Amino acid sequence: MEANPTIVFYGPNQVGIENRTIPQPEKGELLIKTLKTLISTGTELTILERKDVPVGSGWDTYGKFPYLPGYDNIGIVIGVGDEVDPLWIGKKVATYGIHAAYVTVSVEEARIIHREINDEHAAFFTIAEIVMNSIRRGKIIFGESVLVYGLGLLGQMAVRLVRICGATPVMALDISPMRLALLPEDSSVIPIDALDDDLLTAVERITKGRKADVIFEVTGIASLIPKEFKLLRNQGRFVVLSSPRGDSQFDFHDLCNSPSFEIIGAHNASHPVHATLDNPWTMRRDAELFFDLVANSELDMEKLITHRAHFTKALEMYEMLINDRSMAMGVLLDWT
């Protein structure tokens, strides 16, 4: 039987590729031959590097070694388990499958790619699902000013999607000139250098003194969060889109009660499990919307792809990211 190359994290900063057995689909599962996967430079690198992770935190207990990374998999269904319609075979799907040549997932997990779009662009579907959920939880209103604090993949996607929702202006803040340069060319998207000595003055100038209606925290650096609130108007909304790690001193009077800020958690798991009339926006429904936006040229993922490599070069990609991820954004692996 053909081997199944699979990326494995063995320990802190230890990555390998194992030739494992091709999995067989069990009842209710699909067997998928992988075409492309997208490396998560946030979650995967946090697990791989194991730094700034407080003992006893969610990060400390998540991703135990050896760990099989990956959750942005695009592939073709080549087999089905019992009680699965054989018409699935041949369909192109997006799943949370790992970085491996062959993966199995449940039928419920698979999102059919129903439009003709580039496989590399489709691989950003998980990023879109996460951000779409945060925007819905943040209740963005047409015309509101939004500040996106941190311009990694999630931040870049947030800038693009809040604009589609009608937010204006959208202030995009980061310390990296490269990341700022990747922003869409849109007069309502305003880049801000996070190293600016007076961020408050800059934000007040852009918002005519009102400050941001909504802030999306996308740095993942807990110690920065208290400073970010200074840029939010009273009774504004603070959406935690990142998964912050590390300790932070937080004054609940000054940073929550007195200005009456609304602090909103926005983890991907807060998607509804099943569609209801009140909330039909499941992960699968958000993925469907993402594929439509890409197919309709309303979202352009090409600008966010900075690295492409065959999966046999994966160790080099991870080494590059461990040493310096500042020049990386979308890092794609080809499994064909």
Q: Could you read off the pLDDT of 203-224 as tens digits, one per residue?
A: 999 999 999 999 999 999 999 9
Q: Which of 224, 252, 270 finishes a domain?
A: 270
- C-alpha 227/C-alpha 149 separation (Å) is 11
More reliable by pLDDT, 245 or 310: 310
- Pair (249, 136) in one structural domain: yes
- Pair (185, 266) in one structural domain: yes
| Residue 115 covered by a domain | yes
Strand duo 146-149 + 170-174: pairing? parallel
Residues in the chain: 336
| Residue 11 covered by a domain | yes
Q: Are 188 and 163 in contact (CB under 8 A)?
A: yes
pLDDT in tens, 130-182: 999 999 999 999 999 999 999 999 999 999 999 999 999 999 999 999 999 99
| Residue 228 covered by a domain | yes
Q: Residue 305 burial by CB count (10 A; 0-12/13-18/19+): exposed, middle or buried?
A: middle
- Pair (10, 119) in one structural domain: yes
For residue 239, what is the enclosing H or E element? strand 232-240
Q: Would you state the pLDDT for residue 246?
A: 79
- Pair (118, 146) in one structural domain: no
- Pair (266, 135) in one structural domain: yes
Comparing CA positions, the residue from 300, 325, 271, 279 lying closest to residue 151 is: 325
Supply 115's token pair. Answer: 């439009």
- Pair (246, 185) in one structural domain: yes
Share of the chain above pLDDT 70, in %: 96
Neighbours of 221 (CB within 10 A): 17
Task: State how many domains the chain has.
Answer: 2
The CATH number for 20's domain is 3.90.180.10
Residue 59's pLDDT band (cuts 50, 70, 90): low
- Pair (64, 140) in one structural domain: no
| Residue 284 covered by a domain | no
The residue segments making up the domain with residue 218 are 128-270
Report pTM.
0.93
- Pair (18, 57) in one structural domain: yes
Residue 250's pLDDT band (cuts 50, 70, 90): confident
Neighbours of 194 (CB within 10 A): 17
265: helix, strand or coil: strand
- Pair (159, 264) in one structural domain: yes
Q: What is the mean pLDDT of the chain?
A: 94
Strand duo 3-11 + 14-21: pairing? antiparallel
- Pair (97, 157) in one structural domain: no
Q: Are 301 and 294 in contact (CB under 8 A)?
A: yes
